[in-house]
Structure 1
Amino acid sequence: MPADLAILGLHQFGLPLAQAAAASGIGVIGYDTDQAVVDGLNTGRSPIDGLSAAGVRRMLAAGFRATSDPAALGRARTAVICAPTPLGEDRALDLSAVAEAARTLAAHLRPHTTVILESTTYPGTTEEFLRGILEDGSGLRAGRDFHLAYSPNRLDPGNRAHGIANTPKVIGGLTSACTEAAAAFYGRITERVVRARGLREAEAVKLLETNYRQVNIALVNEMAVFCHDAGIDLWDVIRCAETKPFGFQAFRPGPGVGGHGVALDPNYLSYKVRTLGYPLRVVELAQEVNGRMPRYVVQRCATLLNEHGKSVRGARVLLLGVTYKADLADQEGAPAREIGSRLMELGAALSYHDPYVPEWRVMDRPVPRADSLWEAAADADLTVLLQHHRTYDLQGLAVKAQLLLDTRGATPAGAAARL
């Protein structure tokens, strides 16, 4: 039986797309080589944060099926590759998962299929890397026998206001016909489709968007250090500055960047431009500034303890919120682990609390989880808020804690030391 859509890669970005497509009445096949993920989905279990078991059951009721059988890919009219693209140890882009997905798809690719890459990558990947694998493996020609396009993923996990349906989808194709074929597909699941001039322009969109965040986060992180040293309340500065109705967007400092996008994507662009012979200086500097924030937080911890006659060595330090984003369980790239390891190296006795993380390890050692948040905060020499989950009563914590360092500016003014 033919399917409208096959999604290759059923994790952080592929599953939300499958969910949105199934909800729009599109027949969806989800392909993944991880049999445990496939079996779990087909029995109603979700492998990712943000998609509930009830959500999986609704997908199944709408006709979604997960499979590890590549032959199923030959039944799809549209195939979207959502494979991960991490950085390798040499900081170069690792496209091995994209290549594996493409080779698998190519062996079953039929004429007139629309193939779309959503994995974050550097400009040129779709045409220079993906196209060749698909053509060599299928014997078909992109732009003639099948459509080839790129669409940057704009998913913001946990965002309750903006999802796939109401976030404009950028499309860029190898040819104008490829663009229109991809636009016709995405037009079934999203309210607005934006056509880029071509593949490279579409690929560069995600990089520009994440670099914009990276650079502005770095700016406000540097402002945080400067304002603290100068005795200026940065949080009040931001409150006043964001009243300007034009030319300013408020960003807020934090203990570091994390997640599947901001922490990594700028390196993709830096990697590409280095191969062209020149650095992308602003982006690389922003990455450096943001990479220093965990060390700065540890420095502030040590200073705060010292000001109250205590040393980091032997101090009981409670970390609150070890995920990369509020109200999610995902720990990808979260700065908490580096902060925790540095505190442990300095001799601190570490504990943590996070309503979404039942177990947590630092330097391959389990960190004790606080059962009673109030008692743990009262017992700790220093409590550090790293992520502001909605369940935290920060006003109450500020009263209970001996010392509280708020890296998110979430506590009432004067209730705690702020970053």
Structure 2
Amino acid sequence: MKTIQGLRSSKNGYNVTEEGVSDLRDNFISRIRRRKARVGIVGLGYVGLPLLWTFHEEGFPVTGFDVDQTKTDNLASGTPYIKHLGKEMMGKLAGSDKCSATVDFTGLAEMDVILMCVPTPLNAYREPDMQYVEQTTRTIGKHLQKGQLIILESTSYPGTTDELIIPILEEATGMTSGEGFFVAYSPEREDPGNPQFNTAGIPKVVGAHGSDALDIATELYDSIVVETVPVSNSRTAEAVKLTENIFRSVNIALVNELKVVFKEMDIDVHEVLDAAATKPFGFMKFTPGPGLGGHCIPIDPFYLTWKAREFEQHTRFIELAGEINTSMPGYVIEQTIKAMNAHQLPLNGSSILIIGLAYKPDVDDLRESPTFRLMDLLSEYEAKVSYYDPYIPRIHETREHAEWTGLESVAWDKETISGFDAVVISTNHSDIDYRQLADWNDLIIDTRNAMKNIEPKNEKQIWKA
């Protein structure tokens, strides 16, 4: 892997004063087709790192930028830091003379394309927290060169590209978007840990500020993904991403509500959904759980809710879905209390093991995991909380859950697991031996239907929540 100093020092080689914009566009597209366009990726997390790998695999010279030197050092040494992106991939990147990683953002001036893959969380009031996008854009503005293409991949509200990014860049440089530089938006569609889909195999939606920017961005993504889907402008592309995740949020809320209703009717919601899924048309199966997790579904819908207020529009479906989904951890605690009462156990003072800290099975991604909310609620009842997760041996520092930093996963053995008063399954990792769990513990609250094929010791052992 090259260091940043090993990159070409002649900037991007474009001169707008000598070339018209159309010539600049054609020159840029030619460089993309010849794999000469240098690609810089800001943010080397769950979105940026797979994107860097994909560009590298297609022969582009790539540089990763991140404020976290641990990530850049790991990338340079080939040390995996995201579990499903393993040693083989990291080793190839570290050994390549077409890949570099740095915390020195002056190297942005050497890039032809700069892609922003930075967090877009919500603040305490469920409003967009744009500090990372804004800070990154201002940093890019300090180093922006004529002819560069800037693309935001982070999920955001419609209007982010036009109303936030472009004004910052134009003010910083004195250049005009579409003439001096190009701006586009292409939302990430990563599904961490899903072996059926990688970055190259997922179609890419692209919107841009002007036809030249769209042509260049479309050519860029055509070079690395199975299909590029250009849309009329950046606002439309931003709305596409939100729509995808709002669709999922609303449908997950529906099945979560059905779970609560069917529980009172003594109907197994999972049996209902499995049977309904046999219909070959008109039904799409979603599964209930203890709440929403991940970097998209718990957050993205509220970006549109916030933006809609500017137009005096009310997003009732979105807000109702949010209310239902955010209430699910509380429902799980209610069911845990009922289950423990059936065993004549108080929640206060009891030892509770939560299985699964990751927000979804078979990954080490704990962003927005509902398990944290379960741990918080159990602590409020003064229960003694532990967790087991084979993918997360220790809780590293997070922005929202500092109180749990440093807590370590318990051992998976009979003596340890049988010592807990109750076990709550929050994430159904596939490599956990649920038969052993049933043998070792007498009270299991299952929020994921993980115990569906396990015969309980008695009718009180496995409690579906």
Aligned pairs for 1:117-136 within 5 A: 117-136=152-171
Q: Quick one: structure 1 residues 363 and 153, their matched pair in 2 at CA, closer, same or farther if it must change by over 3 Å?
A: closer
Aligned pairs for 1:14-413 within 5 A: 14-62=48-96, 63-360=98-395, 364=403, 369-413=409-453
Shift in Å, 1:102: 1.4
Q: Give, in whole Å, the separation in 1 of the partners of 2:408 and 2:100.
A: 39
| Other-structure match for 1:418 | 464
Shift in Å, 1:203: 0.4
Contact 1:353 1:373 in 2 (8 A): no
Q: Which amino acid aligns with 2:327?
A: R
Deviations 1:244-298 (A, max 9, x none): 1111110111001111111111111111112222321111111110000101101
Query: Is the partner of 1:351 in helix, strand or coil?
Result: strand
Shift in Å, 1:49: 4.1
Shift in Å, 1:87: 1.3
Which portions of structure 1, spanning 4 or more consecutive aligned residues, are displaced by more than 4 angstroms?
Answer: 360-363, 365-368
Q: Percent identity, aligned pairs only?
A: 37
Q: Give, in whole Å, the separation in 1 of the partners of 2:113 and 2:295.
A: 25
Deviations 1:87-146 (A, max 9, x none): 123322121211221122222222222211111110001011100111111222111222
Shift in Å, 1:369: 3.8
Query: Is the partner of 2:39 in helix, strand or coil?
Result: strand
Query: Is the partner of 1:383 in helix, strand or coil?
Result: strand
Shift in Å, 1:363: 7.7
Q: Which amino acid aligns with 1:223?
A: L
TM-score (norm 2): 0.86
Q: Count how many residue pairs are aligned between Structure 1 and Structure 2.
A: 419
* Unaligned residue ranges in structure 2 (runs of 5+): 1-7, 13-36, 457-461
Contact 1:377 1:402 in 2 (8 A): no
Deviations 1:2-25 (A, max 9, x none): 652011122221111101111111
Query: Is the partner of 2:250 in helix, strand or coil?
Result: helix
Instruction: Report which stretch shifted further, 133-142 or 195-204.
Output: 133-142
Q: Which amino acid aligns with 1:30?
A: G
Q: Give, in whole Å, the separation in 1 of the partners of 2:310 and 2:125.
A: 14
Q: Give, in whole Å, the separation in 1 of the partners of 2:413 and 2:249.
A: 33
Q: Give, in whole Å, the separation in 2 of the partners of 1:205 and 1:287.
A: 19
Shift in Å, 1:47: 4.0
Q: Which amino acid aligns with 1:98?
A: V
Query: Is the partner of 2:200 in helix, strand or coil?
Result: coil
Shift in Å, 1:374: 3.0
Q: Give, in whole Å, the separation in 1 of the partners of 2:320 and 2:451.
A: 30
Q: Quick one: structure 1 residues 32 and 350, their matched pair in 2 at CA, closer, same or farther if it must change by over 3 Å?
A: closer
Q: Give, in whole Å, the separation in 1 of the partners of 2:363 and 2:151.
A: 28
Q: Give, in whole Å, the separation in 2 of the partners of 1:197 and 1:242.
A: 36
Shift in Å, 1:44: 2.3
Shift in Å, 1:367: 5.3
Deviations 1:140-193 (A, max 9, x none): 211122221100110011110001111000001111221111011111110100
Instruction: Report which stretch shifted further, 394-403 or 129-138.
Output: 394-403
